[in-house]
Each structure stands twice: as C-alpha cells, then as structure tokens.
Amino acid sequence: MSQAKAVEGVFAIHKPPAITSAQVVRDLQKAFNPSELFAPWLANEKANRERENGYQKKRRRDKRLQVKIGHGGTLDPLATGVLIIGVGKGTKHLQNFLMCTKAYEATLLFGAATDTYDVQGKLLSKAPYSHITRTKVEEALDAFRGQIMQRPPIYSALRIQGKHLYEYAREGKELPVEIQERPVTVEKLEITEWLEPGSHEYKWPAEEALQEEKEVAEKVLHLSQDGTGASVEPSMDNQTLPIGTKRKRPPAYVEGDLIYDTDRAGKRQERDSDVVMSGGLLEATEDEPQTTSVKEEQTAETANQGSSTVKITITEEDTPPTTSAKPTSSEPKHSTQTTSPTTTGSPPAVKLRMTVTSGFYVRSLCHDLGKAVFSLGIMAELVRTRQGEFELGKNALEYEELGKGETVWGPQVRAMLEGWQAKVEQGGNVVVGGGKGEEVD
C-alpha cells in the first residue's frame, strides 16, 4: 500500500480583526496537527527525526511533533486581509514575499496623533481639521506617489543598536539615535471614498498618553520643533491653508495651535533589520515552537535639507469628542503637551487604496498625510487585499472555515498547496507579484 503524498507549500488565509497574526498560526496548527491531510507530513517528519544523530536531536529546541507553519509578514491586530502561510518546506519560500507588491485599503482619520499612528494607540496631540477637504487631500497625495522616503513608526520591529524600536517605546525610553527615513515605492495611491465630518463612526482613542509619555514622544518624534530645534508660532490671520507642491522633505507637523517643521538633518542611515511586512505592527513576543515569520532588511541615506516655517489659520471648530472626552487645561503655547479648542462634531476621514513595495508602512502614510494637509492623522482601518499572487475573494482561505472542520477547509488548503507545488516543480519560479519571477529553492 503506497503512502499518501505529504502536502506542503504556501497558501493564504484571510486574517480577521482583533487577533494577532501569531494567533492565526496557532489556530492553524491546532486544526492541522490532528488532520488527515497532514498525517503524511507528520509521518515523514517523525521518520526524519528518528534518523537524526545525538547532536541534531540536542539542538532541536522543540521536541513536539507538529506541523511546521510560518507566516510571510505580520499584520496589525487591527488589520484584516491576506496573510501568507508557509507549511513545511513552504516556510523556506516565505522570503520571496518580501519582494512582492502588496495592495491595501486603509481609512485615515484626521485631527489627532497617537504613539502607534493608529486608533489603538494613546492620544498624544490634536490639531485643527475644519480646513481639510477632499480636494486638498487629493492635491497632497501626489507627494506620496512614486519613489519616496518614509520614516517608520516607533512601534515597529526595526532595530537600533540591536534592540527593536517597539521595545524602546514600551519601556518609555529615548532612542539612542533618530529613526531614519527609508526608500519605498508607491505604485498606486488613490481616494476611494471621502467621509465628511459626522458621516462616519470612526473616533479618536479615548486613552490619552501620560505627561511623561508625551515628553518621551516629543523627544523621539519632534512634535514641537522645526529643523533648528526652535518653536514656531502660526499666523492668526484668516488666510486659506496652502497645500505644498511635491516636496523633498516632510511637511510641517501641527500640534494644537502651533505648527513646526520636521528635523531633516542629513545622517548616514543606520542599517536596520527585522522589519515586519508592509503596514505591520509587531505583536508581543511569544514563544512559538515550529512557527516562522519572515522579516526584511533595508538601508537608506538621506540628504541634508533645510527647514522653513509655514503658517496656519486657527479655528475653534477642530476638536471632536473621543469615546470618553476629558477636559483639558490651557497651557503655554510652547508646551509639548497639546491643547485644542472644544467643538462638536467629528473630523473628516478618507478611504485610500494603494499598491506598494516592501518596507512600506501604511500607518506612517496616514501620519504623514495628516501633516501634509497641516493637521494630524491616524490609521483607523486597514485591509491587505493582495500580496503577490494571493488576493481576497480569489484564492485566500476564509478564517471562519477553520471552525467548520476538515471536510470544509481541507479540500481548499489541499488545492492551494498542490497548486503551489505544481508551479515549483514545473519551472522552479513562482510569480509573487509585480510581474517578476522569484527563484525558489
């Protein structure tokens, strides 16, 4: 009696909101380990382990026999969409997906900044937003298309001096060096829907950062300084807010009733590593035997650029209620803690669709686009609709299918894995995005 062929390779699953990418991997292992589909793979793995010598057995950290699974790039817990999964030898191919293009649909909420650049972070500051229109946002988008320089958020997996940025953030520590910008490419960026104030349910986070947390954020993000380190006061006249042309440096950062330029002093880019996939916010570290996640490296060098002041008209219609509004006390204009006038209503929001290359952070785009229209911005929603050849609604397993049993998810996973294996066997190349073939070992 011939033994059934072990299936392994790469497929995609639709990650739901509110759970981590690592949890998806654990849920897959829970379903795959006792399944008939992966029984041949486990039998082969057991036989291979029995042939290992003493040194190999000692080196093996995980003694449990279970299906080897990894994912090809973390998605934020907030985010949904395509999560690439490698099974068995397929985990070795996950690196290919770092070089492919990804498509996202995101919602940006104006008027606020948080430590994580999204609605799940702590509120750092607020800014006027009544001047923002769809037209102004459309004009500002041009500066974010093509090859651009982007500064990753502090809540990311980049390393500085061997330590993850998110570790500095969680510990409330200053960074030993400034986060440098990195080159990324935006192949497509467009507005799909404009949401007027009061026409949506998106809200700023209710939790406000503590004063000491704001002080650390000020030192890391330079919220209230221009390139020279000086504070700059805005004009109080009633001029229309201008939208800058395509720029070589990031726009000014608005904080409450002050607006400042961002420090762009040229520095040699420190080599970073361990970057989560586009838009990804790294999850808390957990011990996960037999799982693999793929990360990437990039370097960039920025040029010396000058700084200039910009002016903004201040109105009294620019602070919406949060989920639990708290009164704020007035402070001097040069304080690092932001104060804003009270108002009713909610800020505008915009839905964006984009196609980007590796290393791109959607949260940074939302943060930077908010500054580009002389306000602030945070990511309220994110969906990865495509990564490489895998696309939602086309060839990605729905997460809910796992709960329906192997008779439901089994045929779908088998078809995707066998399809992947066939491509590898036929040509040794797999097209993973952007029309480029990536060599597969």
- Range from 127-136, 236-245, 256-265, 303-312 that averages highest in pLDDT: 127-136
* Confidence class for position 318, pLDDT limits 50, 70, 90: very low
Q: Look up the pTM and report it.
A: 0.71
Q: Is 115 a catalytic residue?
A: no
Q: Does residue 327 or residue 3 have the better pLDDT?
A: 3
> How many whole angstroms separate alpha carbon 390 and alpha carbon 72?
12
Q: Does residue 317 or residue 433 have the better pLDDT?
A: 433
Tokens of 86: 């490698």
Q: Does residue 301 or residue 210 have the better pLDDT?
A: 210
Q: With a cut of 90, say whether residue 195 has pLDDT above it.
A: yes
| pLDDT tens-digit readout, 15-35 | 999 999 999 999 999 999 999
Give pLDDT, residue 74: 84
- Shortest CA distance to 184 belongs to which of 74, 310, 278, 106? 278
Q: With a cut of 90, say whether residue 7 has pLDDT above it.
A: yes
> How many whole angstroms separate alpha carbon 28 and alpha carbon 70?
10
* Confidence class for position 196, pLDDT limits 50, 70, 90: very high
> What would the 3-class secondary structure string for 222-242 be?
CCCCCCCCCCCCCCCCCCCCC
The answer to whether the beta carbons of residues 84 and 10 sit under 8 Å apart is: yes
> How many whole angstroms separate alpha carbon 275 and alpha carbon 260?
29
| pLDDT tens-digit readout, 134-154 | 999 999 999 999 999 998 887
> How many whole angstroms separate alpha carbon 403 and alpha carbon 401?
5
Q: With a cut of 90, say whether residue 126 has pLDDT above it.
A: yes
Give pLDDT, residue 266: 38
The total of other beta-carbon atoms located within 10 Å of residue 297's CB is: 13
Q: Which of 62, 76, 226, 263 is catalytic?
A: 76
The answer to whether the beta carbons of residues 152 and 165 sit under 8 Å apart is: yes
- Range from 76-85, 240-249, 343-352 that averages highest in pLDDT: 76-85
In 3-state terms, what secondary structure has residue 298?
strand
Q: With a cut of 80, say whether residue 71 has pLDDT above it.
A: yes
Q: Does residue 317 or residue 153 have the better pLDDT?
A: 153
103-107, 129-133, 264-268, 385-389: which range is least confident on average?
Answer: 264-268
The average confidence (pLDDT) of the chain is 73
Q: With a cut of 60, say whether residue 86 has pLDDT above it.
A: yes
Q: Does residue 9 or residue 340 have the better pLDDT?
A: 9
Q: Does residue 109 or residue 265 have the better pLDDT?
A: 109
Give pLDDT, residue 181: 86
* Confidence class for position 379, pLDDT limits 50, 70, 90: very high
Q: With a cut of 50, say whether residue 367 has pLDDT above it.
A: yes
Rg (CA), the chain: 24
Kindly give, in sequence order, each residue whose CB lies less than 8 Å from that of residue 164, ignoring residues fewer than 6 positions away: 156, 157, 158, 274, 282
Share of the chain above pLDDT 70, in %: 61
Give pLDDT, residue 159: 57
* Confidence class for position 205, pLDDT limits 50, 70, 90: very high
Token pair 């829970």 is found at 30
- Shortest CA distance to 68 belongs to which of 291, 402, 287, 288? 291
Give pLDDT, residue 409: 98
Q: Does residue 60 or residue 143 have the better pLDDT?
A: 143
* Confidence class for position 53, pLDDT limits 50, 70, 90: confident
Give pLDDT, residue 178: 64
Tokens of 156: 């990311």
Q: With a cut of 50, say whether residue 225 has pLDDT above it.
A: no
Q: How far apart are the first and last CA of the chain?
A: 31
